[in-house]
Amino acid sequence: MRESVALFLLSNLMKNLFLFCGLLAFPTLCLAAEPEKKADAPAKPVLKIIPGQVIVPTDTMRRPWGEVISIDLATRTGKFRNESTDEVMSFTALPYAEMLHHATFGDLSDFKVGERVIFRLHPNDAGEWVWLTYIQDEMNMLNGHKEFFHVDQIDTEKKTVTCTQANADQSYIREKGLVIETDAETRFWKEGEPAKFGDIKIGDKLRTKSHGRGKGKVRVAWEVFLDEPSLLKFQAAQKEVHLAKMKTDGCPGYVDSFNNGEVQLTMFQEGTELVSKYHSKQRVAVASAGVDRKAKGEPKPATIVTTKPQGKLVKMTLITDLPAGTWKSGDLIRLWLAEPK
């Protein structure tokens, strides 16, 4: 009897001891099962315009459609009318700002008073939306987004067309009921050759280059392209003009550093077609440039060490015998390929 009681007590003691040990381990098991907390991701840096660097703060921008009022090529400043508000706004084009004209690269001087374009603006330190990083004409916007004005109605008396702006198959529609006006200055193009208003048919897919009337959202066409070949002909002509300008005026860029005869450059996107073809050991000429981006002073000789694409830009390393202080970080330059004589 005593042995049975002893065995019973011993059995209960072992059960309680096992339960007690389990309770002690429970918090540890719970802690082990709890998922690890991930460290907070670092905050995305806020981009800001810094003179002498190619920075486009796409997280802080406005892109209003506007009508060009004035352009000062000496200071690369100007004014435009925001067609959504009729407010007159000012802009200062940054040296690396993209000038997208006739569906490719152009120059600030290509844009005419009255022309309808998109302005990409960013705030300066005072909070004023004046820094400009691109002007995009209507041709470039339509071509880049693969959009057209689909003709819905034609008024032969008023010489206007009512359109839907959309992609080719209208699976994406940006806007309906757009009225495109024409006048005596409007030129029409089909298959790359001159055409006329009467050649436009319902269902046609148009692209245009237009101007305003000084108030509201008004489209008065300077150029009407009835087909793709006509726009591409204008684009090809502009590419030749721009390439010739880069060869004559030099490709623009910034000096990143100049130490012990080694020059580090960031070449702007508009000259990429040329500078991306340059290679090591080629001779070049480099000149400082002013606010108007025109070269000033005698071009200085240098030799390419490396060229490296970086996104839409090209990074270049040059060597030269020029003395320290010839250039400093942030200086604007123009660069030419010095062909062997």
Instruction: Please write the tens of the pLDDT for every residue from 150-170.
Output: 999 999 999 999 999 999 999
pLDDT above 80 for 197 = yes
pLDDT above 80 for 189 = yes
User: Residue 167 contacts by C-beta under 8 Å, 6 or more apart in sequence?
Assistant: 145, 146, 147, 148
Q: Kindly state whether residues 205 and 309 are assigned to the same domain.
A: no
pLDDT at residue 31, rounded to an integer: 40
CA–CA distance, 121 with 332 (Å, rounded to integer): 21
For 298-336, write each residue's pLDDT tens digit. Answer: 999 999 999 999 999 999 999 999 999 999 999 999 999
Is the whole model's pTM more than 0.75, yes or no? yes
pLDDT at residue 41, rounded to an integer: 65
Q: Kindly state whether residues 109 and 130 are assigned to the same domain.
A: yes
Domain boundary among 249, 269, 295: 249
Q: Is residue 8 part of a domain?
A: no
Domain boundary among 201, 233, 249: 249
**What share of the chain has pLDDT > 90, as a percent?**
85
Q: Kindly state whether residues 285 and 195 are assigned to the same domain.
A: no
For 259-282, write each residue's pLDDT tens digit. Answer: 999 999 999 999 999 999 999 999
Q: Kindly state whether residues 208 and 83 are assigned to the same domain.
A: yes
Q: Kindly state whether residues 153 and 87 are assigned to the same domain.
A: yes
Average pLDDT of the chain, as a whole number: 90
Which residues form the domain of 103? 44-249
Domain boundary among 195, 223, 249: 249
Q: Find the mean pLDDT for residues 235-251.
A: 97
- Number of domains present in the structure of the chain: 2
pLDDT at residue 86, rounded to an integer: 96
Q: Is residue 37 part of a domain?
A: no
pLDDT at residue 145, rounded to an integer: 97
Q: Is residue 286 part of a domain?
A: yes
